Structure 1
């Protein structure tokens, strides 16, 4: 089996997503999940941020006079997501060596959902740390129509190598509940999206990975979009006069980042019921890298929703200096594996 968890001790696990070069062989096929639905806002952002002046992407009145009759997605956005959506399997990629062919066979529009599949076409040893992998990645829309085919070569770290080798214990957790992929009857490996309710055990701790570095631009943007216009969140001179090194990250977004970091393990959540006992430590600043870890405090079956269970977790966050940033208890509802759930019908 392939796993996303490595054992630190009997009750603590380190998340690591992406297979090592030594886990791949020619002919393997991978079904990448989740899919992603494109929006017209995605289209506009990609065009304007990249200074793409083709107005068919963002001028609806113009697009109505073309053969498409509506805005067509920027093709390089599809390309980026074709690669990005393979991360759960090929996330230990060092670099893309070359792309021999990029074929876009059907247009994508706002409202379309992209799903991605890959096949290992070739493997070649480089040295004791790296291997070269030849891949064919294909994209399909929600109707099963092929929209793109990408042939390319990557360099991939071996399981025992790479920049995270000091963080990740060399003790893979091989229990079936931790499987990163499930093998379908046709032999393809289907990526998994979190742990079911029955497989979450009280007292176990998960160190969430990868960590997250916060950029100054996104910190200011989140403050402004939250209407948190306190000048210390976006006015550098004001922040310095207050004795700060620069604008601070709004504390509510610090909670949001921590929750997001935990979704690789708690990816089968149906709803977040709330937080309690929220505590804050040092200010979170642009340039900080944070790591979150969560401990399962309690699990119980839901009385009102029998297909789900209620889970209480404690999440704690520290920065790159080991300083405490925030912590909270969170109550969430999680799908049960043994009860009806949406995954099979949705292609997961």
Structure 2
């Protein structure tokens, strides 16, 4: 299995990723502790009772990382050369313990690299939704993607079958 090469990305295409994950209190406590985020809004039930949410709020950086991971097997597994940046990271609705998240990605733009002949640059918009289809996270990301060997790219190490597997829909 592999992700897409630069040439295979189509601007405007929407990918509805098949993965979902229910987030747990353990996820939140572990991630928050590992990242040394001592915000009581994430860790302290008594403190959180007195906030506008009335309960602990999920760490938004975990949400960004989880939703950002949903696309990997379909789009970038073994074909990405690195992230170039994130922009417009938004969390329009809170995530709580027990929510089940899913993701979608739209290809916003792409261009050939000006400094590398073996790669191109792709702009992604990643969106996360909860079990009620409420948007909980949106970001744009820029990635450096390998070109296919037929188009001057090197053949990245790919595990297993070289056939991309994805569920997609045209925007």
Q: TM-score, normalised on structure 2?
A: 0.85
- RMSD of aligned alpha carbons: 1.6
Cα displacement (A) at 1:249:
1.3
1:160-213 CA-to-partner distances (Å, cap 9, x unmatched) read xxxxxxxxxxxxxxxxxxxxxxxxxxxxxxxx1211111110010000121121
**Please, which of 325, 332, 348 is the counterpart of residue 136 of structure 2?**
325
Cα displacement (A) at 1:245:
4.4
Cα displacement (A) at 1:311:
0.2
CA distance in 2, matches of 1:237, 1:266: 41
Match of 1:230 in 2: 39
CA distance in 1, matches of 2:120, 2:22: 32
Match of 1:296 in 2: 107
CA distance in 2, matches of 1:266, 1:216: 29
* 1:239–1:246 CA contact under 8 A, matched in 2: yes
CA distance in 1, matches of 2:112, 2:157: 20
Where structure 1 has 5 or more consecutive residues not aligned to the other structure, the ranges are 1-191
Cα displacement (A) at 1:235:
0.7
Q: TM-score, normalised on structure 1?
A: 0.43
Where structure 2 has 5 or more consecutive residues not aligned to the other structure, the ranges are 163-171
Equivalences for 1:80-95 in 2 at 5 Å? none
Provide the secondary structure at the position in 2 that maps to 1:211: strand
Equivalences for 1:47-196 in 2 at 5 Å? 192-196=1-5
Cα displacement (A) at 1:214:
0.6
**Please, which of 61, 65, 70 is the counterpart of residue 252 of structure 1?**
61
1:147-169 CA-to-partner distances (Å, cap 9, x unmatched) read xxxxxxxxxxxxxxxxxxxxxxx
CA distance in 2, matches of 1:319, 1:198: 32
Equivalences for 1:181-220 in 2 at 5 Å? 192-220=1-29
CA distance in 2, matches of 1:258, 1:222: 15
Cα displacement (A) at 1:300:
0.9
Matched, 1:266 2:76: yes
The structure number with the bigger radius of gyration is 1
Structure with bigger RCO (C-alpha 8 Å, 6+ apart): 2
Provide the secondary structure at the position in 1 that maps to 2:18: coil
